[in-house]
């Protein structure tokens, strides 16, 4: 049980290329089922995040590897999904830039803190942000799946798909920026204590 949370984190990282493959390669019995498969893979990968966190807390299994690798695994999964949506022309690039800028900035702060001997675990705001991101991304992919399925039945596209995806990713961007602000304040206090 000791290494289970870390194993789940590694599994989540390994699921990223599998998710990307399912987003871009038409697999399954029709032209749109690969989006459903991608949503399922993303949901399973997201569940490993919930699972490893619960196991770590229940059995008090806390490691520096987990504190660093767990949020990085989340960022890899989320960023892979967001970039996929942009590449497919289904999401506004600026929403993704905002989210990814926050993720990169927080990762850099964590790296600087680590060099100073400080490990900054994910706080409540960061966890809420991650949950919102994952739910919104699954919702966006399911919108795309439903749209493709509708197109295959009636032969016409739904005009709202782009707006729908941008709305849910916009909600994710809001929570991402909010948690970034909270994290910045928290990191500032930690560095200040360390300096003193």
Residue 12 CB neighbours (<10 A): 24
Are 125 and 73 a contacting pair, CB within 8 Å? no
- From the first residue on, what is the mean pLDDT of each consecutive set of 10 residues in the chain (196 residues)? 84 95 77 86 94 85 80 89 92 94 84 74 80 94 82 49 88 93 76 51
First to last CA, the chain: 38
Helical packing angle, 33-58 and 64-87, nearest 10°: 160
Task: Kindly list the domain boundaries of the chain, sorted by start residue.
Answer: 4-195
Q: In the chain, how long is the greatest CA-to-CA distance?
A: 67
> Superfamily for 4-195?
CDP-alcohol phosphotransferase transmembrane (TM) domain (1.20.120.1760)
DSSP 63: -
CA atoms within 13 A of residue 190's CA, in its CB half-sphere: 18
| pTM given for the model | 0.83
pLDDT digits (tens, 9 = 90+) for 29-51: 566 788 999 999 999 999 998 89
d(CA 1, CA 111): 28
Burial of 89 (0-12, 13-18, 19+ CB in 10 A): exposed
What is the structure's pLDDT at 98? 95
- Rounded CA-CA distance 162/151 in Å is 14
């Amino acid at each position: 049980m000791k290494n289970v949370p870390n194993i789940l984190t590694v599994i989540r990282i390994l699921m990223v290329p599998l998710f990307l493959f399912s987003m871009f390669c038409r697999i399954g019995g029709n032209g749109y089922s690969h989006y459903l498969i991608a949503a399922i893979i993303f949901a399973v990968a997201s569940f490993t995040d919930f699972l490893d966190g619960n196991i770590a807390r229940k059995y008090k299994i806390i490691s520096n590897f987990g504190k660093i690798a767990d949020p990085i695994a989340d960022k890899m999964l989320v960023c892979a999904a967001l970039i996929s949506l942009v590449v497919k022309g289904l999401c506004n690039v600026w929403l993704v830039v905002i989210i990814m800028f926050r993720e990169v900035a927080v990762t850099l702060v964590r790296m600087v803190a680590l060099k100073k001997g400080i490990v900054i675990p994910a706080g409540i705001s960061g966890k809420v942000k991650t949950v919102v991101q994952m739910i919104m991304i699954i919702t966006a992919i399911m919108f795309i799946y439903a749209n493709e399925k509708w197109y295959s039945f009636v032969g016409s596209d739904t005009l709202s798909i782009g707006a729908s995806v941008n709305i849910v990713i916009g909600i994710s961007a809001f929570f991402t920026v909010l948690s970034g602000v909270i994290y910045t304040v928290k990191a500032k206090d930690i560095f200040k204590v360390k300096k003193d």
